[in-house]
Structure 1
Amino acid sequence: MKTVFSVLVFLAASVICFSDAFGQAYMREYLPEGAKARIGKGNVYGLAYSPDSTRLAVASTIGIWIYDARTGEDLKLLAEHTESVHSIAFSPDGSMLASGSSDETIRLWDAHTGEPKATLIGHTGFVRSVVFSPDGRVLASGGYDKTIRLWDTHTGEPKATLTGHTDRVYSVAFSPDGQTLASGGRDELIRVWDVHTGEQLQAFAGHAGYISTVAYAPDGETLVSYGGDGKTYLWHPKTGEFLRPLERGAEDIVFNSPLVYSIAYSPDSTTLACGMDDGTVQLWDIRMGQRKSILTKHPDADTATDAALKTVNKGTSGVKSVVFSPSGAMLAGASYDGTIHFWDTATGVSQQVVTGHTARFVRTVMYSSHGRILACARLGSIELWDPHTGTLRKTINSDVNRWTCVAYSPDNVTFAYGDYRTVWLLDANTGEHNETVLSGHKDRITSVDFSPDGSILASSSADETICLWEVVTGDLRNILVGHMARVQQVAFSPTGQTLASTSDDGTIRVWDINTGDVIKTLVGHAGGVGQLAFSPTGQTLASTSDDGTIRVWDINTGEPIKTITPASDRFSSIAYSPDGSTLASIVDRKNIHLWSVHSGELLQTFTGHMGYISAIVFSPDGRTLTSGSSGGTVFLWEIAP
């Protein structure tokens, strides 16, 4: 155990933001079968204004949200894709909406009714970018299969496939006259193509990394690119001549040189908007190559310095997507903090804020012991929800984004989380870190668990050890050694007298907490053992393994008493129902199966998450199963009595 002194204590405290947010609530619409509520609208990947500026389309992990751009009201959710939607575009006449997805398809929608019109199939990988030609007759798409494809928007048939990129294509953009197409991607080159012949006209380099975005100015005079090297460059689109970079000012350098996350041209071609990692949007004069103003989420921030100081979580509030309205009067920006701001470009004032989108994937979900709080832990934050009213009570935000695991103390006052090799203790009421940290592991921490009385915290690690800590003092009580490979998970028995652990060495070990001795070694899985869960009585223990089975063990004899073999061998977390009759498991990372502990029979399947399911937990009353996912959403599923 080490005590964190002076500067480190100050830094840890300074990056925690504890806020009340009563405005958000469960969503009870657009739910899959069996779900009674959803937390979050999914991560945002892209924005598109309708040509009449009245609607904003939002590409997300759960589909396409259509918002009223004037009021911020959500109008509908288009959810035909089977994976996350990463790119969207309105046709120039506003009649169609195109979307590209990681399900390898492109879909065309009726932009007014939301009805699907066509599914374009041809890409053999993630579709990262879609854009309509200026006349709306052609749709261009770029994907992870290294190709650019041109489609007839009337028939949905492919017109051409442009090849030449040697790696993933991240961005495509038509010139204003529709004669050429620019593209950029992972091969670090900007390529310009003749749309009619498919011939590559130019290939020019300058970025020292992948190119995430290319865009023509509406007047066609310049082409802008932004890359993984953090640079934003202006080019002559016909000659490939490098014109100038956008240079950051001295005050930016003071604040660790904010990086550009997204770019967009104004309709009159005079301004380039850059979404920054510090949560601001910088507006640049294209002709002069100089910054002219900064849009912030804080109306009282008058300077870049002030804006930076008011940004609580650099990196977690960065603006990941920006788009001007067709009139240029408004600018919309989506941030990693889950908000979408609408700024008046003339005044720089944020006119409207959409909330509810979830910026980070869900690490785990936990109920308080009394069942009145549902804790949702994401990378860098923990949300505390009232599971009965569906209201978000509090959010704890942190700059520490390497959370590997989280546990909730039995008295509901402390969170413990693993941050690589260190365990931090966090006050659930104040949002402040304890001044002591639990440090002793030599490799990544894989799990943490409180004893039933809350006095001891166990942590497991890839260093093949388990550490037992005194929660009050932070003292290291014992180091349990015996596993021959990474320890995957630890869990206290309901009595708190024993601790079970799983490992890649294929064993489950049951330890005496007082002596640190191994009481039993459970052997039977034919592969590494991943997750485990004690039954409420503590008489049995369930485990998952790389061998494709779930085994239920008799703790007293150490023998397996039930083996469940799902149709798939890919499953992870498991959880016992409070009455011990049902086991829930994550299968194929996409489905939740409910099993009878007595018979091993599959009772029910829940499906509907976009992204992989990362965590499951039963409510203390057993009426709800809660699941979290990499898509940033949480579902509450109805459990039949």
Structure 2
Amino acid sequence: MCNAEHISNKRTNFIVEKLLFSVLIIGLSTSLLALNTLAQDYTQWGLPAGAKARLGKGAIREIAFSPDGKQFAIASSIGIWIHDAQSTEALNFLTGHTGTVRSVAYSDDGLILASGSEDNTIRLWDARTGTHIRTLTGHLSSVNDIVFSPDSNTLASGSNDSNVRIWDVRTGTSLLTLTGHSRIVSGVVFSPDGKTLASASWDQTVRIWDVSSGKPIQTLAGHTKHLLTVDFSPDGNTIASGSWDRTVRIWDAKTGKHLRSLTGHKGGGVMNVKFNPVYSSILISTGAWDGTIRINDIQTETHLWTLKGHQPGGVLIAAFSPDGKMLLSGSFDGTLCLWNLEIDEPIQRLTGYSNKVDSVTFSPDGNLLASGGGTDKTVQLWQADTYTLLKSLIGHTWEVNCVVFNPDGKIIASADNDNIVHFWNVQSGSQIRTLPKHKDGISCIAFSPDGRIIASGSWDNTIRFWDVETGEALHELTEHTDRVSSVVYSSDGKMLASGSWDDTIYLWDVQRYKPIRVLSEHTHNVGSLAYSPDNKTLASGSWDKTVRLWDVHTGELLWTFMGHTNSINSLDFSPDGKALVSGSSDGTVLVWKLTHGTVN
């Protein structure tokens, strides 16, 4: 469960009188029991051509509540998810962007949802139906933040191109380009009256702009590292900014005077600042690495308390509900927490989001899927036919790079950046043992078909063969010129395929430890390989975002699959050869339906 730590016993009237929503707690506690059954629904939404299902919702980037508080939208690495705020049920999934969605915002009238993406575009959607209305183009780089004006007629956006743009929502026309920042614009926010706009930048400043003319009014300087976030108080009198210097600065919005600085976050920077929409003095800030949310009363200069529940590694974003009674936070660990501030505990934790998936594999009987990767440092076991999460295997101290079943399906081997191979009992989920350390990070492992040997690929550009029972190193291959990212045996045990960051795939004669041929069609790092059950086809996944199928005998390229929005890190065929799963850094697993090695 998520937990919270009191910093002060003092309770403000804001807390005692206003944060009472036990009815909401009851509704959420009961409705969240249905999340696993809902998983079968959302796994089918918005699939690319040829895909059968998706496990995971991608990595969380931003959260926004609808103005009526009935829904919230989540920007993720693969699209925009819409959830019911009371039941937390996933209602819709909006796709169309070709890059990670970094920002989402509802218009104040609740009719339009906007999304900004790393594909340099902004998309406008009908907030009720999810229908795409139009796409706004003009930025030359990633769109990091977007915000509607209070009257919903205009939209502001901040980009990696160092510019702020003002858009006409009705026509999609770019009205103004605000220039002046010298580095990335990370945050934008309108004043409550809509007359001014504040922008935060990596140039360590906040700039205040006149919205009608687009001219700068003043520049707020004082942070010592780049800024990540900015917000106006509801009364318009105060601006808060958060920086990589680990401080929150409070400014007078009219004069630009620095009023005070808030400290307390440890490690990284302040990722997000948000004023409570009802109480102008209440401000929350989220930490980049300490995994905490700090709540402050800026009027009394009192730190009220700290919410702890996300794993260290960073709370990316947080959002108040429109009535100021609920807080939703999202983290690098792939979780969302709904907080009950009255009792300093979350209402519930929402799962299904993931920072990334580095490895995925079927069990030999096809009944289970195992996946690993991301900041949660776990191996996850799924029911293959229902896509239901069964258990998480905990014990790694670093991100899990690779996961594989032994031939009888009773043991899982997994490896991480700490150079250790872990062995797990599938039935109990307990750890059995570990192998001696590789001399550098282990990026991939594979059991021989008889289960007696494990091959490991390393960041030191080599492939090593180990005796599973004794842990003895048997042989080493040194032909690759960059780190080895994938190794896989053919089912007859005669061949081994290896993929590397040198963009090549080697096919090896295992008995003689000699290369047979080299496949070199990928245009970026090869991340994963898998043999089909009949050994006739090899699948490869790459950082070029494609999955390719090869004829093993001739080396001919048979097919190229496209659908992921980031690098492909893991692949596996189902035992009958009719399905192929691919795990990606976009935080999802795609299941591809195959017939004779091609898409059905």
Give, in angstroms, the shift of residue 571 of structure 1: 4.8
Matched with 1:418 is: 416
Give, in angstroms, the shift of residue 460 of structure 1: 4.1
Matched with 2:356 is: 361
Mapped to 2, the partners of 1:82 and 1:420 lie a distance apart of 34
1:319 to 287, 293, 315: 315
Give, in angstroms, the shift of residue 420 of structure 1: 4.0
2:444 touches 2:487 (CA, 8 Å); kept in 1? no
Matched with 2:138 is: 122
1:235 to 235, 251, 256: 251
Mapped to 2, the partners of 1:567 and 1:458 lie a distance apart of 23
1:504 touches 1:530 (CA, 8 Å); kept in 2? no
Give, in angstroms, the shift of residue 346 of structure 1: 4.6
Matched with 1:6 is: none
Give, in angstroms, the shift of residue 625 of structure 1: 0.5
Question: Structure 1 residue 292 and structure 2 residue 287: aligned?
Answer: no
2:326 to 327, 330, 333: 330
1:222 to 238, 254, 265: 238
User: More deviation in 90-99 or 545-554?
Assistant: 545-554
Matched with 2:593 is: 638
| Residues 529, 364 of structure 1: alpha-carbon distance in 2 compared, 3 angstrom cutoff | closer
Mapped to 1, the partners of 2:458 and 2:109 lie a distance apart of 57
Give, in angstroms, the shift of residue 481 of structure 1: 5.8
Query: Counterpart amino acid of 1:28?
Result: Q
Matched with 2:64 is: 48
Matched with 1:387 is: 384
Mapped to 2, the partners of 1:560 and 1:440 lie a distance apart of 23
| Residues 399, 279 of structure 1: alpha-carbon distance in 2 compared, 3 angstrom cutoff | farther
2:425 touches 2:432 (CA, 8 Å); kept in 1? yes
Matched with 2:283 is: 272
Query: Counterpart amino acid of 1:327?
Result: D
Mapped to 2, the partners of 1:321 and 1:162 lie a distance apart of 26
Give, in angstroms, the shift of residue 68 of structure 1: 1.6
2:465 touches 2:476 (CA, 8 Å); kept in 1? no
Mapped to 2, the partners of 1:436 and 1:572 lie a distance apart of 24
Q: Deviations over 1:364-423 (max 9, x none)?
A: 112233333211011311110121232211012456234444444445324231324454
Give, in angstroms, the shift of residue 39 of structure 1: 0.5
Mapped to 1, the partners of 2:587 and 2:477 lie a distance apart of 37
Mapped to 2, the partners of 1:604 and 1:588 lie a distance apart of 17
2:366 to 351, 365, 371: 371
Mapped to 2, the partners of 1:247 and 1:447 lie a distance apart of 42
Matched with 1:503 is: 480
| Residues 586, 121 of structure 1: alpha-carbon distance in 2 compared, 3 angstrom cutoff | same
Matched with 1:95 is: 111
Matched with 1:438 is: 436
Does the residue aligned with 1:438 lie in a helix, a strand or coil? Answer: coil
| Residues 257, 157 of structure 1: alpha-carbon distance in 2 compared, 3 angstrom cutoff | closer
2:158 touches 2:185 (CA, 8 Å); kept in 1? yes
| Residues 562, 419 of structure 1: alpha-carbon distance in 2 compared, 3 angstrom cutoff | closer
Does the residue aligned with 1:439 lie in a helix, a strand or coil? Answer: coil
2:444 touches 2:485 (CA, 8 Å); kept in 1? no
Mapped to 2, the partners of 1:92 and 1:391 lie a distance apart of 37
1:202 to 211, 218, 241: 218
| Residues 553, 569 of structure 1: alpha-carbon distance in 2 compared, 3 angstrom cutoff | same
2:446 touches 2:488 (CA, 8 Å); kept in 1? no
Q: What percent identity do the matched residue pairs reach?
A: 41
Question: Structure 1 residue 262 and structure 2 residue 264: aligned?
Answer: no
Mapped to 2, the partners of 1:399 and 1:142 lie a distance apart of 38
Query: Counterpart amino acid of 1:287?
Result: Q
Query: Counterpart amino acid of 1:415?
Result: A
2:415 touches 2:442 (CA, 8 Å); kept in 1? no
Mapped to 2, the partners of 1:108 and 1:28 lie a distance apart of 23
Give, in angstroms, the shift of residue 504 of structure 1: 0.6
Mapped to 2, the partners of 1:542 and 1:471 lie a distance apart of 19
2:466 touches 2:474 (CA, 8 Å); kept in 1? no
Question: Structure 1 residue 343 and structure 2 residue 336: aligned?
Answer: no
Give, in angstroms, the shift of residue 464 of structure 1: 5.5
1:139 to 151, 155, 176: 155
| Residues 168, 260 of structure 1: alpha-carbon distance in 2 compared, 3 angstrom cutoff | closer
TM-score by length of 1: 0.77
Counterparts of 1:557-636 in structure 2, within 5 Å, are: 566=521, 571-586=526-541, 589-598=544-553, 602-636=557-591
User: More deviation in 346-355 or 578-587?
Assistant: 346-355
Q: Deviations over 1:66-97 (max 9, x none)?
A: 11212212221111111111101111111211
TM-score by length of 2: 0.82
Q: 5+ unaligned residues in a row in structure 1: which ranges?
A: 1-20, 296-306, 484-501, 506-527
Query: Counterpart amino acid of 2:284?
Result: A
RMSD over aligned Cα atoms: 3.3
| Residues 602, 179 of structure 1: alpha-carbon distance in 2 compared, 3 angstrom cutoff | same
Mapped to 2, the partners of 1:533 and 1:471 lie a distance apart of 16
Query: Counterpart amino acid of 1:263?
Result: V
Q: Deviations over 1:5-40 (max 9, x none)?
A: xxxxxxxxxxxxxxxx96674522332222221101
| Residues 167, 437 of structure 1: alpha-carbon distance in 2 compared, 3 angstrom cutoff | farther
| Residues 431, 400 of structure 1: alpha-carbon distance in 2 compared, 3 angstrom cutoff | farther
Mapped to 2, the partners of 1:31 and 1:103 lie a distance apart of 19
Does the residue aligned with 1:594 lie in a helix, a strand or coil? Answer: strand
Matched with 1:107 is: 123
Mapped to 1, the partners of 2:173 and 2:568 lie a distance apart of 35
Question: Structure 1 residue 81 and structure 2 residue 77: aligned?
Answer: no
Mapped to 1, the partners of 2:498 and 2:372 lie a distance apart of 23
| Residues 446, 552 of structure 1: alpha-carbon distance in 2 compared, 3 angstrom cutoff | closer
Query: Counterpart amino acid of 1:330?
Result: M
2:273 touches 2:284 (CA, 8 Å); kept in 1? yes
Mapped to 2, the partners of 1:568 and 1:278 lie a distance apart of 37
Mapped to 1, the partners of 2:391 and 2:536 lie a distance apart of 33
1:72 touches 1:352 (CA, 8 Å); kept in 2? no
| Residues 450, 596 of structure 1: alpha-carbon distance in 2 compared, 3 angstrom cutoff | closer
User: More deviation in 105-114 or 537-546?
Assistant: 537-546
| Residues 273, 429 of structure 1: alpha-carbon distance in 2 compared, 3 angstrom cutoff | farther
Question: How many positions carry a matched residue from both structures?
Answer: 555
